[in-house]
Amino acid sequence: MLILGIETSCDETAASVVADGRVIRSNVISSQVLVHAEFGGVVPEVASRQHLATVVKVVRQALRDANVKANALDGIAATCGPGLVGPLLVGLELGKSMAYAIGKPIVGVNHLRGHLAAVYLEHPKNPSPPPFPHVALLVSGGNTTLFRVEGPTKTVLLGSTRDDAAGEAFDKVAKLLGLGYPGGIVIDQLAATGDPKAIQFPRALPGREDLDFSFSGLKTAVATRISTAGRPQESAMPDFCASFQAAVVDVLVRKARRALGREGLHHLVVCGGVAANRGLRQALATAAAEDGFSLYVPTPILCTDNAAMIAIAGTWAIEEGERGRPDLSVDPGLPLS
């Protein structure tokens, strides 16, 4: 089965052809990051216009790279939420038009379902996909959530952030430090040579029995420190970043361990943009070795937004008989049911 995935929920215009729900035949990602960096964050209207200008070229490129003609596709999957309404509409409406033109099914895919599915895509670094059920920690710019994943289309929510998402905390702290947007990757790079024990930042909800997260207190602690002591000098930046990153990573690892214990499961998937963070990957690998659970993290290019993950999640939905109706539309706050 050949499925075209289209992803336009935020600031990446992406298209991908995936064969048989596993093999990536093409994976084209056009990032708008430089356009939004000027504003220090994503501007929804600017994002919509960029998607409009780019999406057809990106889809054409994905078909060319896969060496597939549109009418050879078996279906189209496009992200229908959660995300920014204008950007979502651009991708979904193109997907619907193409599906109508070639007479094949269209399905709307929940972006979060895509992140959870990314680890099942074939990649030399992901040789064996995780069995069901497993626990998944989804950490991105908009989400920090723990799920029990029962099957390809069935998840149970275990815990979520009560305020900022982990990626949002990385981006806001990077902004406070004058490191530009998006800051997660810059903090990751600087932290690599810093001392994570240099500054004791707070760990939110450490003793609580629930599986929720909170990162706003940590962000405030960083802001307070900067307003009293000023921004760290260049030489002190690695220690500052390593200490902040350790505070985020500690809580993520602690809650993921708790979720595995509570659910009695031994397989952990970590996905979403922040799963690309080297400090988090390292800390989880250590926890996996200590506790004896198996860890599955997609390769970094499949952690951040891409359309291959939308194509595989769409393949599963089509295989289960799902078909989008002509009035299929987007939902910016679409929950994962």
Which residues contact ligand KG4 (rule: CB under 6 A)?
A: 10, 140-142, 167, 170-171, 182-185, 188, 272-274, 276-277, 304-305
Residue with tokens 């723990």: 146
| Residue number with CB closer to ligand KG4 (179 or 268) | 179
In whole angstroms, what is the distance from residue 269 CA to residue 297 CA? Answer: 6
| Minimal distance, residue 251 CB to ligand KG4, in Å | 14
Q: How far is the CB of 145 from ligand KG4 (least distance, A)?
A: 11
Estimate to the nearest angstrom the gap between the alpha carbon of 32 and the chain centroid: 16
- The nearest distance, CB 30 to ligand KG4, in angstroms, is 13
CB of 214 to ligand KG4, least distance (A): 17
- CB closer to ligand KG4 out of 276 and 295: 276
Q: Which is nearer to ligand KG4, 105 or 272 (CB)?
A: 272
CA 20 to chain centre: 23
Residue 35 Cα distances to 47, 87, 101, 170, angstroms: 9, 15, 32, 19
DSSP-based three-state secondary structure for 291: helix
Measured from the CB atom, is 152 or 182 closer to ligand KG4?
Answer: 182
Nearest distance in Å: CB 216, ligand KG4: 15
Q: How far is the CB of 14 from ligand KG4 (least distance, A)?
A: 10
Q: Which is nearer to ligand KG4, 33 or 72 (CB)?
A: 33
Beta-strand ranges (E) seen in the chain are 2-7, 12-19, 23-31, 75-81, 106-110, 134-139, 144-151, 154-160, 267-271, 294-296
Q: Of 87 and 95, which has the nearer Cβ to ligand KG4?
A: 87
**DSSP output for 104-135:** --EEEEEHHHHHHHGGGS--TT--SPPPSSEE
